[in-house]
Amino acid sequence: MKVLQVVDGYGWGGTKEQVYLTTRELKKKGIDVHIALSFQYDEMVKKLKPYGVPVHYFENHIKNARYRWENYRRLIDIIDRNDFDIVVGNSPHAFDYVRISKIFLKTRPKIINVKRSGRVPSFLSKVLKYSAADRIVVVSKNVEKYLREKNFLPEKLVTIESGVDLSRFKPEPERKLELRKKLGFPLDKKIFVNVANWNPEVKAQDRLFEAFVKAGIPDSLLIFVGKDTDTKIKELSAKYNTGNILGLGFRTDIPDILNASDYFVLSSYLEGIAGALLQAMATGKIVLSTLAGGIDEYLLDGYNGFSVNVGDFEALKEKMIVMSRLSDEEYSRISKNAVETAQNYSIEKTADKYIKLFEEMVYEK
């Protein structure tokens, strides 16, 4: 069985993390998996190099890349030359490339689109774009249910939850002070963390900022981690005249940052399965999140973390205060339950589900 993972652009975030992890695990499990990406994507190539994943370059990621025929021509040649059984488009833009390329292919691979949010595409996108997929993988049962209710190609939908690399994200409470010194974090403050590239329309980091200011939790610090958070949080801090909220920008040391912190907060309007939240739970953090997408499939308020309804930032503020006042015993109990929950979302289990789907598609009549 021969599989091609297609990813567009470069940088790092939840989608790119999942592409890397699933590709790595599929290779470790004996699948002949390749990856097609942009000429500029050095980081993905570097990460996959130790596992011997064949790399193919198709996208020159410059302005209006999706409107440049040469990018499609290269992808068509890659697919035809290697005669793949399965081609996976791992984002809306990656699937644009796959969908158009399919028209011109001499070979006939099965096509998968991976849809990581519950946003319903327009009727035209449904008919002209997504209908070309043989299967549409969504990352939570709630998202699948919602898309079925909207009659979005229900016969093609399959749920495969995103996975966590539990070898990297694990509790290390004994290193907390050491990591704070290493990272330059204050040793005596209650530290809240949000991990997401700056995208307030989806992640609502601006509203989380406001809620934290209003909460007024003594001796506390809120840290935003992700692309552009360094500049955006600096602007907001100046506006609100506050010094206990920081933006670190893009970082690769997320496990260390989580283990150096006390709490994790996700304020999103829209999510799939929320991998960053599961990563925080895997490290034993006390988490708080809106119930966007499929989050309520695993986050139980008061048991393994805390939750609020999407858009209820007053409740988010109040729950942050509650978290900050937990006793050591309450913290330990919720932390233990969070870690146990995250164990159900290992990247190995995710890869096994993909392999099962591939086999069904390749051998179906």
Distances (CA, A) of 355 to 53, 240, 267, 332: 16, 50, 33, 37
The answer as to whether 313 is a domain residue is yes
- The answer to whether 36 touches 78, Cβ cutoff 8 Å, is yes
Check whether residue 70 and residue 13 sit in a common domain. yes
Check whether residue 251 and residue 291 sit in a common domain. yes
Check whether residue 177 and residue 322 sit in a common domain. yes
The answer as to whether 168 is a domain residue is no
The dihedral formed by the CA atoms of 44, 47, 49 and 55, expressed in degrees to the nearest 10: -20
70's CB contacts (< 8 A; 6+ apart) are 60
End-to-end Cα, the chain, rounded Å: 16
- The answer to whether 196 touches 279, Cβ cutoff 8 Å, is no
Helix axes 205-215, 229-240, angle to 10 degrees: 40
Check whether residue 188 and residue 331 sit in a common domain. yes
Check whether residue 128 and residue 221 sit in a common domain. no
- Closest among 279, 281, 276 to 300, alpha carbons compared: 281
At 363 the pLDDT is 86
- Closest among 251, 241, 245 to 189, alpha carbons compared: 245
The answer as to whether 248 is a domain residue is yes
At 36 the pLDDT is 98
At 365 the pLDDT is 54
The answer as to whether 309 is a domain residue is yes
Phi, psi of 236 (to 5 degrees): -65, -40
Check whether residue 157 and residue 280 sit in a common domain. no
Q: What angle do CA 39, 115, 352 make, to 5 degrees?
A: 90
Check whether residue 289 and residue 211 sit in a common domain. yes
DSSP for residue 297: G
Residue 171 structure tokens: 């509790």
Check whether residue 148 and residue 214 sit in a common domain. no
190 CB-side CA count, 13 A: 18
Check whether residue 336 and residue 244 sit in a common domain. yes
Residue 261 structure tokens: 């912190």
Check whether residue 312 and residue 240 sit in a common domain. yes
Q: Over the chain (365 residues), what is each successive 10-residue block's mean pLDDT?
A: 96 91 97 98 96 98 94 98 97 96 97 91 95 96 92 96 95 96 96 97 97 96 97 94 94 96 97 92 98 94 98 98 97 98 96 97 81
Check whether residue 113 and residue 147 sit in a common domain. yes
The answer as to whether 338 is a domain residue is yes
Reduced to 3 states, what is the DSSP secondary structure of residue 275?
helix
Residue 316's domain comprises 173-345
CATH number at residue 14: 3.40.50.2000
Q: In one letter, which amino acid is 73?
A: R
Check whether residue 134 and residue 250 sit in a common domain. no
Question: 244: alpha, beta or left, given left = phi > 0 and alpha = psi -120 to 50?
Answer: alpha
Q: In one letter, which amino acid is 273?
A: I
The answer as to whether 20 is a domain residue is yes
- Helix residue ranges, H only, the chain: 14-28, 42-48, 69-82, 92-104, 123-128, 141-149, 176-183, 200-203, 205-215, 229-240, 254-260, 275-282, 313-324, 328-342, 347-363
The answer as to whether 34 is a domain residue is yes
State how many domains the chain has.
2
